[in-house]
């Protein structure tokens, strides 16, 4: 088995084995019993049915809190370093499902400070501007303005700072070095930053002046931050945050994390026009054979196909239809061109609507932002 891959919030490399990652990180798999429990609150999201969200920490406890009537808050975030692509919105769509299902308040952190400190090419003005741009995509997903607080770190720092330094005082440099793989060349802001990502776990408790559970839906690459948070939370007088982890959505170029820095055509941005989306989908990496004859005879390989992955993660929520696409591929009944066209139709239909909602979000952005 391949053990060579690396997953931290700052580096994802190699072929990620998600089962090995559960062991390395010490998280728990979302098993059938837990799925059955979640299904009591409403239809299971396809990302749960398909183990896109597949791992957790203390999710049972959060549901206990909910059942006792204590409720819980949701917390997720985005590092605003550039435009939003489909890999970014995937966990946010799931966050909205959680908000709808549990009527929970969502704290959405935009880490303009983080991206400024970690990227030489970005100024603080740049990351702030991206923050406001990215917020349009977040709002377009349909979060409830009454239950959603979006904030830029630099605009909410008065509220967060006292808790951030209380957290910072409990975290050693040696821990940061080991968890994030930093060394002496990292700037000191990046070393401090995890204490800023910690605070939103407690914002609901701070606001309500009593301990409230917090559930963080996020890509599993963000787990290291919250492992640190969990170690110090009780010492600060709060509950440990609970987590629900997603696998990273592959790019159209193959299986690595869908990244803005990978080949430009391997990612679909939410603001791409129809022609661009068409070019990207039609050039996607698939599990097809070298010739039509071979594929008719031997079938394709959906396991390695990015078109199949897109259907699985986002664009074919109907399990029966997904299973049919899968078996038609394996049997050679459907060829890659046709499959790409089907995906293109779904992606464009989705994006056209998203772009309309994104425009409308400009009128209501102030209903979502909190500042101090
Ligand atoms: N650090 C994350 C990033 O670079 C952004 C982030 C902040 C986040 N808080 C979060 C992501 C909570 C998930 C959950 O993208």
**Which pLDDT tens digit goes with each residue over 140-180?**
999 999 999 999 999 999 999 999 999 999 999 999 999 99
CATH 3.40.50.620 domain locations along the chain:
6-248
Which atom from ligand 1 is nearest to the alpha carbon of 217? Answer: 14
Task: Tell me which CATH code domain 264-359 carries.
Answer: 1.10.240.10
pTM of the model: 0.96
Q: Which residue's CA is the nearest one to ligand 1's atom 10?
A: 77
- Residue in 273, 292, 286 with CA at minimum distance from that of residue 332: 292
| 111 touches ligand 1 (CB under 6 Å) | yes
Q: Which residue's CA is the nearest one to ligand 1's atom 1?
A: 79
**Which of helix, strand or coil describes residue 367?**
helix
> What does pLDDT average to over the chain?
95
pLDDT at 262 (0 to 100): 53
| 21 touches ligand 1 (CB under 6 Å) | no
> For residues 291, 294, 296 and 302, what is the CA-based torsion angle, rounded to 10 degrees?
-80
- Residue in 300, 293, 303 with CA at minimum distance from that of residue 331: 300
Q: What separation in Å is there between the alpha carbon of 71 and the centre of ligand 1? A: 23
Which of the four pLDDT bands, split at 50, 70 and 90, describes residue 257?
very low
Which of the four pLDDT bands, split at 50, 70 and 90, describes residue 2?
low
Q: How far apart are CA 119 and CA 202, in angstroms?
A: 27
**Ligand 1 pocket: which of 225, 227, 228, 246 to mutate (most atoms within 8 A of CB):** 225
Given a cut of 80, is residue 256 above it in pLDDT?
Answer: no
Of 41-45, 146-150, 258-262, 352-356, the range with the lowest mean pLDDT is 258-262
CATH 1.10.240.10 domain locations along the chain:
264-359
pLDDT at 5 (0 to 100): 94
Q: Which residue's CA is the nearest one to ligand 1's atom 6?
A: 77
**Ligand 1 pocket: which of 12, 78, 203 to mutate (most atoms within 8 A of CB):** 78
286, HSE (Cβ side, Cα atoms, 13 Å): 27
Q: Which residue's CA is the nearest one to ligand 1's atom 14?
A: 76
- Pair of tokens at residue 223: 């787990």
- Mean per-residue pLDDT, 25-52: 97
pLDDT at 232 (0 to 100): 98
**Which of helix, strand or coil describes residue 163?**
helix
Read off the DSSP letter of residue 241.
Answer: P
Given a cut of 90, is residue 255 above it in pLDDT?
Answer: no
| 78 touches ligand 1 (CB under 6 Å) | yes
Which of the four pLDDT bands, split at 50, 70 and 90, describes residue 254?
confident
- 83 versus 4: the higher-pLDDT residue is 83
**Ligand 1 pocket: which of 12, 74, 79, 203 to mutate (most atoms within 8 A of CB):** 79
pLDDT at 272 (0 to 100): 98
pLDDT at 61 (0 to 100): 98
User: What is the tens place of the pLDDT at every residue in 293-313?
Assistant: 999 999 999 999 999 999 999
User: What is the tens place of the pLDDT at every residue in 324-354?
Assistant: 999 999 999 999 999 999 999 999 999 999 9
Q: In Å, how far are 103, 133, 178, 328, 355 from 25, measured between CA atoms? A: 30, 33, 13, 37, 37
User: Is 3.40.50.620 the CATH classification of the domain at 6-248?
Assistant: yes
Q: What separation in Å is there between the alpha carbon of 222 and the centre of ligand 1? A: 7
Residue 43 CB burial class (10 angstroms; 0-12, 13-18, ≥19)? exposed
Q: What separation in Å is there between the alpha carbon of 323 and the centre of ligand 1? A: 33
Q: How far apart are CA 341 and CA 329, in angstroms?
A: 14
Of 3-12, 104-113, 271-280, the range with the lowest mean pLDDT is 3-12
- Mean per-residue pLDDT, 24-38: 98
**Ligand 1 pocket: which of 89, 111, 137 to mutate (most atoms within 8 A of CB):** 111
């Amino acid at each position: 088995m391949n053990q060579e891959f690396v997953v931290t919030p700052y580096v994802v490399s190699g072929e990620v084995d998600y089962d090995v990652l559960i062991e390395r990180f010490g998280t728990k798999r979302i098993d059938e019993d837990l799925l059955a429990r979640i299904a009591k609150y409403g239809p299971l999201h396809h990302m749960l049915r398909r183990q896109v969200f597949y791992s957790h920490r203390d999710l049972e406890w959060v549901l206990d809190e909910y059942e006792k009537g204590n409720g819980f808050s949701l917390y997720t975030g985005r590092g605003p370093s550039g435009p939003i692509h489909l890999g970014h919105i995937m966990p946010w769509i799931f966050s909205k499902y959680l908000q709808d299902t549990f009527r929970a308040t969502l704290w959405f952190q935009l880490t303009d400070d983080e991206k400024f400190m970690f990227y030489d090419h970005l100024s603080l003005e740049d990351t702030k501007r991206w923050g406001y741009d990215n917020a349009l995509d977040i709002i377009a997903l349909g979060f409830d303005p009454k239950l959603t607080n979006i904030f830029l770190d630099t605009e909410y720092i008065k509220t967060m700072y006292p808790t951030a330094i209380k957290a910072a005082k409990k975290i050693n440099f040696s821990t940061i070095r080991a968890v994030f793989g930093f060394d002496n060349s990292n700037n000191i802001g990046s070393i401090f930053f995890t204490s800023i990502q910690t605070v939103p776990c407690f914002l609901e408790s701070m606001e309500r002046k009593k301990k409230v559970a917090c559930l963080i839906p996020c890509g599993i690459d963000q787990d290291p931050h919250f492992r640190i948070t969990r170690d110090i939370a009780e010492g600060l007088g709060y509950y440990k945050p609970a987590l629900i982890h997603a696998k990273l959505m592959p790019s159209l170029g193959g299986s690595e994390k869908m990244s803005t820095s990978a080949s430009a055509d391997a990612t679909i941005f939410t603001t791409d026009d129809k022609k661009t989306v068409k070019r990207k989908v039609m050039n996607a990496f698939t599990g097809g054979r070298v010739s039509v004859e071979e594929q008719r005879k031997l079938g394709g390989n959906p396991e390695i196909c990015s078109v199949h992955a897109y259907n699985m993660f986002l664009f074919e929520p109907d399990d029966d239809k997904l299973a049919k696409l899968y078996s038609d591929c394996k049997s050679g009944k459907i060829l890659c061109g046709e499959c790409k066209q089907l995906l293109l139709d779904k992606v464009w239909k989705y994006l056209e609507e998203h772009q309309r909602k994104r425009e409308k979000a400009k009128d209501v952005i102030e209903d979502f932002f909190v500042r101090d």
